[in-house]
């Protein structure tokens, strides 16, 4: 009976991580599409777009961790959400024809990790 219980908790753990990563991924895609539309409509300078893009990705991860990471092991779940999100984003970018840049991936991943841990810290402090 205990084996079934641990199997359910493990699947719940991974389901939460996957939900968080997919939430961040979908929010990030929506934010980037809206940014592209705004940039096209208002002719925003191209040097501003990468900075705004990073901020929007960070906001997507913050929202995803805040909504989907619950229960025990907040920090570990938050780190996994950030990692899976970063890998999904990289995969989509490569599929869409963008080249692989390790520096860009490392930057995206580091920012996602940082904001996910900060969000987990805030969630843990609010719970206590």
Q: What is the pLDDT of residues 59-78, one digit of tens each?
A: 999 999 999 998 888 999 99
Is 50 in contact with 91 (CB distance < 8 Å)?
no
**57/62 Cα distance (integer angstroms):** 9
Q: What is the pLDDT of residues 23-41, one digit of tens each?
A: 999 999 999 999 999 999 9
User: Which tokens in the block code for residue 94?
Assistant: 């490569």
Instruction: For residue 54, count other CB atoms closer than 10 A to its CB.
Output: 14
99 to each of 36, 90, 91, 103, how far by Cα in Å? Answer: 19, 10, 11, 12
Q: What is the pLDDT of residue 70?
A: 87
pLDDT tens-place string over residues 79-101: 999 999 999 999 988 888 778 88
pLDDT, averaged across the chain: 90
Say how far apart CA 43 and CA 55 lie, in whole Å.
Answer: 19
Cα(82)–Cα(99) distance, integer angstroms: 21
- Predicted confidence (pLDDT) at residue 1 exceeds the cutoff of 60: no
Number of residues that this document lists for the chain: 128
Under 8 Å between Cβ of 25 and 88: yes
């Amino acid at each position: 009976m205990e084996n079934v219980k641990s199997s359910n908790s493990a699947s719940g753990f991974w389901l939460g991580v996957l939900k968080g990563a997919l939430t961040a991924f979908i929010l990030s895609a929506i934010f980037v599409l809206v940014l592209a539309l705004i940039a096209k409509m208002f002719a925003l300078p191209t040097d501003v777009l990468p900075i705004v893009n990073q901020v929007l990705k960070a906001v997507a991860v913050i929202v995803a961790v805040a909504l989907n990471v619950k229960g025990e092991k907040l920090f570990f779940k938050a780190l996994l959400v950030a990692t899976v999100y970063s890998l999904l984003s990289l995969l989509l970018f490569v599929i869409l024809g963008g080249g692989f840049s390790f520096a860009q991936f490392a930057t995206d991943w580091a920012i996602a990790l940082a904001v996910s841990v900060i969000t987990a810290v805030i969630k843990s402090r609010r719970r206590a």
